[in-house]
Structure 1
C-alpha cells in the first residue's frame, strides 16, 4: 500500500509542478534536480546490491540443492525457452495491435529532437552491424569476473550468473570430496547469503520514497502535446501490454497458481519497475518476491530474474519492435500483413531478444536490430522519442513480470517450488 500511495502521490505532485511552473522552466528543472537525489540514490543502492545478491544467492542455492549440472541445465533450458516463447507471443500481440489501430509512420511529423534521435540511431547502427548472433552469445561468457561484478559490460549480469554457477559447482565438489572443509565452507556460504539478504531488506525499506521521487520526475517531464499527437500509439501499446499480462496470468494458472493471488504478490515489484524503467534495478525486488512470496526457490528465482533482465523481454524486445516494424514498413512500400513478412518479423524478434544484451539491451537497441534485419529505415524509430518514457514504464513492468512468470512456471514444472516464506506483502518493505 505504501508503494502504491507513493506511486499515485508522485504522479499527482509531478503533474502539479508541471502545470504550475510549465514544462521546461528553470524552476521546474532545479526542483527536479533536487528530487532526483532521492530517486538516483535509491536506484543506485539497488544496483549496488544486484551483483552481490546474484553471486551469493546462486552459489548458496547450488550448495543447498547439491544436484549439480542436471538441475541447473533443466532450469536454464526451461526458463530461457519460456522467455523466448512469451517474446514470440508478445510480438504477435504487437502485430495485432498495430493492425487494429492502423498504425502508420508516414503521417507523423518529426521535430528537431526526433530528427536528431533518428540521426543518432543511424550512426549507432554502423557500430553494431558487424555483430553476428555468435558474437552476441560469446559476450555472455565471463573473462574477468571482477570487471563483470563491477558491471563493466552490458552483459555483466549474465556473465556473473555463469561465474556464480561455476563457483557454486566448485564449492559442491570441495564439500563432497573433503569433509575437512565441508562444514566450514557451507556455513560461510549460507551466512554470506543471510548477510546479503539483510542488506537487500535494508535497501528495500526505502522503496516508497524512491518510487515517490521517480514518479515525480516522470510526471513532471511528460510532454502532453506529444502524447496527444501519438495517442493511438500509446493506446495500442498499453492495450498490447494488457494483453501480455492476461497471457501471463493464463500461463501461471496452467501450473495451478491463482492469478489474483499472483498479481497481489508481484504488484509492488511491477510498481517499482514501472517508475524506475530499469529491469536490472528491479532484480533484487524480483528475486525477493519470487523467493519470499511466490515460493520459486533460490536457484530458479536467481536464474530467471537475471536472464529475464537481459534477454527475452516481452515488452521491450517483443511488443515494441513488432509495432515499430509494422508502422515503418508501409513507408517503404512493404505490405506488413503478408504471411512472409509476419513470419520473418517474429523469428527476427525472437533472435534479437536473445542477443540484445550483447549490444547493450533496451527497447531502442532491440528495435534497431530488428529494423536493420528487416531492411527497414531505422531513423524513423526516432519519431517516438517524445513519448518513449511514458511507454517504457509499462514495457519495463511487463519485462519484469515475464521473468517472474518464467520463474513461477519453471519452479512448478521441475518440482522445485517451495512454500512462500512471507505472508504479508508489507514485510518486504
Structure 2
C-alpha cells in the first residue's frame, strides 16, 4: 500500500513538471514560472506533510525521489562554478575588460563586501537586542547532539588556525586540488590563480603578440562554450526550485520551527532590514532599487530554495550582465568574490546574533561598545573564506565564536531550524554580491544604464 502512495505522489510531481514544461513551450515568462514553481512546491510539500507526517516512510521515500531533480539541478550548477570562475576572470583579461583598473575594481568589490558584512553584523546585534535574545536557552535533542559532535571536529581545526593561517589558505598551493572545490577558500584561490595568469598574459601580449593572440582565442572559445552550458542548465531552474521546495516543505520539522519561533522571527527581521540596506545603497548611487529587486527576484528565489550561493553563481553573473547592465569583468569578479567574502547573511547576521545570545552565559554584556566593536571586527575577518554552500552559516558561526572565546555549543543546538533560516540568509548573501557588482559598475562607469532601466523580460 505504501508503494502505491509513493508512486501516486511521484506521478503528481511529474504532472506538475509537465505543466511547467507546457508553460515554457507557451513562452510564459521565466520569472512567472520560477515563482509559480516556488509556490506550488511549498503547497505540494505541505500537503504531503499534513497528509502523511514528515517522518513517515511514504513522505521520506517520495521526498527522496523528488529530490533527485532538486539535488541533480544543484549539482549541475555547482559543476559549473569552478570553470565559470576560472574562465570568466581570465577572459576579462584577454578581452581587456579588467586590465586597466583591475586593482581599483578588485579593491572596491572587496571593500563593498566587507562594508556590507559589517553593517549586517550590526543589524544582527540590534535584532537580537530588540527581540531580547541574549542569554536565551535552547534544548538539545538527538539531531542537535549529532551536530555538536560534528562541530567539535571542525572547531578543533579552526582553533589551530591563526589569522595569518587563514590569509595564507586563500593563496593557491595546488590549483588542481582547488579546482575540485575541496577547501572553503578554493574559489578565492582560483580567482587569485586566474588573475596571475591574466597578468602573465598581459606581459606576453606586449612581447609575443602572436602567442598571446592564440591564447586569447582559446580562452574566448572555451568561455563561450561554458556560458552556453550555463544557459542550457539555467532553463531547468523552475523544475529545480519546484523539487527543492517540495522536499523542504514535506520533511521540515514544523514543531521545532514553532518552538524556536522567536529566534526565527528575529533572524528574518534582520535579513529583511539588510535587504532594505541594499536597496538604500543602490538608491544612494542614483539607481532605482525597485528595478533592481524586480530583476533579481528569480535569482534570489533560486538562492532561497537551493541554499547554495555557489550553485546560484551562474544565474547571479548572467543576471548582472544581461539584466542589470553590469560590465562582464565586474560581474564576474563580484560574483566570484561574493562566494567566499562578505556573505551578509551567513557571515554577518547569523554569527553576530549567536554571539549576542551566548555572551551573557559567560558574564559578558553583549551591548557594550567594546564588545560590539570586537564582534564586528571578528565578523569582517571571519567572513573571508566562508564556503558558499548550505551550512556556510555554521562554519562562520564557529569561526566568530571561537575567535571571541565564546561557547560554540549553540551552533549545534540550532541545527533543527538551520535550513529554514539558511534559505533566507543565502538569498541575502547573493543579493550582497549582486549589489556590490551593481554599485561597483556605477562607480567605475561600467554600467549600461539603458539595460538597467529597461523593463523587458529577458
State the TM-score, normalizing by the size of structure 2. 0.88
CA contact (8 A) 1:133 1:355 kept: no
Q: 2:195 aligns with which of 160, 165, 168?
A: 165
- Partners in 1 of 2:362 and 2:167 — Cα distance? 32
In the alignment, structure 1 residue 50 sits paired with structure 2 residue 81: yes
Pairing of 1:219-258 with structure 2 (within 5 A): 219-258=249-288
Find the partner of 1:11 among 34, 37, 42: 42
Distance 2:277 2:315 in 1: 22
Residue segments in structure 1 that go unaligned for 5+ positions in a row: none
For residues 385 and 455 of structure 2, the distance between their equivalents in structure 1, rounded to whole angstroms, comes to: 38
Shift of 1:177: 2.6
Q: Deviations over 1:51-85 (max 9, x none)?
A: 221222211211222663x5111111111111111
Show the 5 A alignment for 1:321-360: 321-357=351-387
What SS does the aligned partner of 1:282 have? Answer: helix
- Give the alignment of 1:11-410 within 5 angstroms: 11-65=42-96, 68=99, 70-357=100-387, 362-410=392-440
Q: Displacement of 1:108 after TM fit?
A: 2.6
User: Contact between 1:119 and 1:379, CA under 8 Å: does it hold in 2?
Assistant: no
**Are the equivalent residues in 1 in contact too, given 2:185–2:385 (CA < 8 A)?**
no
Structure 2: any 5+ residue segments left out of the alignment? 1-31
CA distance in 2, matches of 1:403, 1:157: 14
Q: Which has the higher mean CA deviation after the structures are superposed, 391-400 or 344-353?
A: 344-353
Name the CA distance, whole Å, in 1 between partners of 2:391 and 2:164. Answer: 16
CA contact (8 A) 1:142 1:162 kept: yes
Displacement of 1:2 in angstroms is: 0.8
Question: Aligned residue pairs: how many?
Answer: 426
Alpha-carbon distance in 1 for matches of 2:97, 2:384: 29
Secondary structure at the aligned position of 1:228 is classed as helix
Contact map agreement 1:161 1:306 (CA 8 A) in 2: yes
- Which segment drifts farther, 116-125 or 256-265? 116-125
**Alignment root-mean-square deviation, CA:** 2.1
Cα distance in 2 between the residues matched to 1:66 and 1:398: 28
Greater relative CO, 1 or 2 (CA 8 Å, sep 6+) = 1
Tell me, yes or no, if the aligned pair for 2:148 and 2:411 is still in contact at 8 Å: yes
- With the length of structure 1 as denominator, give the TM-score of the two structures: 0.94
